[in-house]
Amino acid sequence: MNTTLRKSILGIAGLAIAGGLAAGPLNHDTPTTGTTGTTAAAVQAAKPDTGTLIPHGVQGTQSRVDLNGEQTDNAKAIIAATKKTGMDERAAVVAIATSLQESKLENLGHLGDRNDHDSQGLFQQRPSSGWGTVEQITDPEYSTTAFLNGLKQVDGWQDMPLTAAAQTVQVSAYPDHYAQWEQQAADLVAQHWTS
């Protein structure tokens, strides 16, 4: 992705975040009913199926890490932020797989000599690239929302393989590495989406 397009995506993501904060939260206390009589709460309580979570099937060999309590809490925070932005389970899978690749779901601070430039947080976002301040990008809700707002700007991300959607937002030196985390990300979303 060229620098101008990346800056545009980040700029739009930043505006969307600021706009969301200015507008205030949506009222989720009142259940809504569609033509079928199903409440929004009942729809949200349904456990997502594999076809929703992994619509294109997994690509390549899958990796898996055992998660500690903090990593599991970070996965839950990504899911909560995804719901708050109004995005679906597939967006949560893309976000969690991205975080698994970037930080193994650890909210990393500056790693000194081991740091990739000034990358930090769950998504290894860089303050110098416009993702936000260090305090912001190490806040799971903020960093997830920033990632998802970038994802929203990718035309047709829902129809892309996970690794292509993640790479378009992240612009990683290793674009194919996101794919290896799709199954674990889907399992985490299936387990925690309704909790």
Domain residue spans of the chain? 3-24+60-192
pLDDT band at 118 (very low <50, low <70, confident <90, very high): low
Query: How far is the C-alpha of 44 from the C-alpha of 66, rounded, in Å?
Result: 27
Q: What is the pTM of this model?
A: 0.74
pLDDT at 110: 55
Mapped onto helix, strand or coil, the DSSP state of residue 33 is strand
Mean pLDDT, range 111-125, rounded to an integer: 69
pLDDT at 71: 97
- Could you give the C-alpha distances from 8 to 85, 127, 153, 165, in angstroms and in order? 20, 16, 9, 16
Mean pLDDT, range 98-104, rounded to an integer: 95
pLDDT at 128: 77
* Strand runs labelled E in the chain: none
- Could you give the C-alpha distances from 97 to 22, 36, 138, 157, in angstroms and in order? 29, 34, 17, 14
Q: Of the CATH numbers 1.10.530, 1.25.60, 2.60.40, 1.10.472, which one belongs to the domain with range 3-24+60-192?
A: 1.10.530
Spatial contact of 75 and 191, defined as CB atoms under 8 Å apart: no
- Could you give the C-alpha distances from 131 to 7, 67, 76, 126, 191, in angstroms and in order? 10, 26, 21, 6, 29
DSSP 8-class letter at 138? T
pLDDT at 171: 87
pLDDT band at 172 (very low <50, low <70, confident <90, very high): confident
Q: Which has the closest alpha carbon to 176: 101, 95, 121?
A: 101
Looking at 38-195, list the stretches that DSSP marks H as alpha helix, in order from N- to C-terminal side: 40-45, 50-53, 69-84, 89-103, 134-137, 140-152, 162-170, 182-192
Number of Cβ within a 10 Å radius of residue 22: 7
Query: How far is the C-alpha of 63 from the C-alpha of 132, rounded, in Å?
Result: 30
For residue 1, give both structure tokens: 């992705």
pLDDT band at 31 (very low <50, low <70, confident <90, very high): very low
pLDDT at 120: 82
pLDDT band at 176 (very low <50, low <70, confident <90, very high): confident
Convert the pLDDT of each residue in 39-91 to its tens digit.
445 445 578 888 889 998 898 999 999 999 999 999 999 999 999 999 999 99
Does residue 130 have a pLDDT over 60? Answer: yes
Question: Which residues 6+ apart lie within 8 Å of 27 measured at CB?
Answer: none
